[in-house]
Copies of this chain bind each other. A is one copy, B any other.
Amino acid sequence: MGRMQTMDALGDPVRRRIVELLAAGTRPAGELARSVGDAYGISQPAASRHLRVLREAGIVDSEIDGQRRLYSLRREAMDDVATWVENVRAFWDQRLDALETEIARGNRARRDSRTTPGA
């Protein structure tokens, strides 16, 4: 079901926070590091490492801009997650539908057996 190193990488609150920040637009690494640094009490190198993981998972892109790195969200990454969830949901709903028809069938059967001079 899809390319899921995406969800592997998103199984970390710091990285999810970075994604949330990037949802608002492209940001330099330093700003991201400060944000999550403040929020989670981690150092700048730690944040940089998280950025690397996100990069390698194809969740973000980075672009050089002078002496800084601009990070941006890759839309497709979010699509991956959405697709996975939608598939799970679809299966689940289909199961529920099947259950309903099953129940309906059961009701019909029960009704019939009552109406029919069987018992």
Report the bound CA distance from A108 to B79 in whole Å.
34
Contact with B along A64-99 (1 / 0, CB 8 A): 000000000101001001101111110110010000
- Given A78-B89, A88-B78, CB of A95 within 8 Å of CB of B12: no
Q: Give the residue of B7, B25, B95 whose beta carbon is less than 8 angstroms from that of A10.
A: B7
- Residue pair B24, A91 in contact (C-beta under 8 Å): yes
Complex interface: chain B residues within 8 A of A88 (CB)? 19-20, 23, 73, 78
- Residue pair B20, A16 in contact (C-beta under 8 Å): no
Is A4 part of the contact surface with B, judged by Cβ < 8 Å? yes
Complex interface: chain B residues within 8 A of A7 (CB)? 7, 10-11, 16
Q: In the assembly, how many copies of this chain are there? A: 2
> Chain A interface: which size bin?
20 to 34
- Given A78-B88, A82-B82, CB of A20 within 8 Å of CB of B1: yes
- Residue pair B13, A8 in contact (C-beta under 8 Å): yes
Q: Nearest chain-B residue to A6 (Cβ)? A: B11
**Residues from 14 to 45 in A contacting B, C-beta threshold 8 Å:** 16, 19-20, 23-25
Report the bound CA distance from A20 to B2 in whole Å.
12
